[in-house]
A and B are shown apart, each in its own frame.
Chain A
């Protein structure tokens, strides 16, 4: 239990997707003009990461890893290493999951669907999502519970980052930012300042 809590806190604050690894920057920069849209995208990312990371965990441990196919073909699996397929498999899972999520949301929550608009399908190409799957593989989580908690935590970390920058962008909308820096430029600088602030948590051992 304590392990799960540690992984959760760690993935939100210490290994924050945006501020520690600078992943998912494209949607982070593109959809952070207002807090409202940022909240929508952030929630969608939490949702997708929370589903794809455990699914990819199952794929990794029961199909792709060396010897993982033992449940299907017995001892022959010991030498069989399919992990070279992991990139393409993970991306396929993410893309199909996003499609599935999109259909479900459209069917059961049409108002949320319309407010998310293009951002929902865009998540398929958000590198924070693939990053989540690959970190899961690299860090060798030992149970599906850990993988789920890691996925959710990373999503919440991204959510915090994007609503934080969106609020800053709303605040500085009427500031006299020098012309060449308006828009994306000042957002990058603000992101850098936020990353400095997030160094608060670096080095905490859990």
Chain B
């Protein structure tokens, strides 16, 4: 499938976007050292430790009930040994995101605190859905859930007039936000979010998961991870965890249902685990 980044409508709109947040420096460096197979937990720990604020936040997260380790983890290297490189990188990215974007007040009527509460909750729900779908390291997918709607913030900040029209159509015609975005802009926040992740040089899997979280059928080889984010989003919306700006629960699409081999009997367990995980994930909201 051709990249939407090459689509002319999308390109034209993206050219209007002045304010694409840059990837925090520490993540650029992390990406660099993680490409080297000789990198050790100590190397990564030293790099993260060079930013005491980030290091302190990571230790706060890994020592919270979100991970629930029986004893206190006091060094980043120890956290890396226990959680693995990718999960620690995902935590660094998660806590850095809040400083790259606005987190307080409103943009065009979208309350940012409830927006981030929704995003963090989708991160938590995505992890649970990944766990039920037999992914070996489900915690690595928290970041996909956290960033799934990030395109909305970019659009709200950069295409204000168009987004006002979109929000008006959502309210007047009672249609889903993504439908109004498609009709007004010719693309959705999902593509814009994917564009940001591409700019940030995040993995192609994550880019695809964000791009297709409303329609995993289009994700090709990445249908399973896109489905995980899709179902994570649906679960968080059902449970009214925060508010991503869309008034309705997105319908579960057949492609996700099939890719994850879902069953209606899973719902009570899934809802319970998602809700509990989302409560624990609130530790991330301390950083907004």
Do A and B pair up? The answer is: no
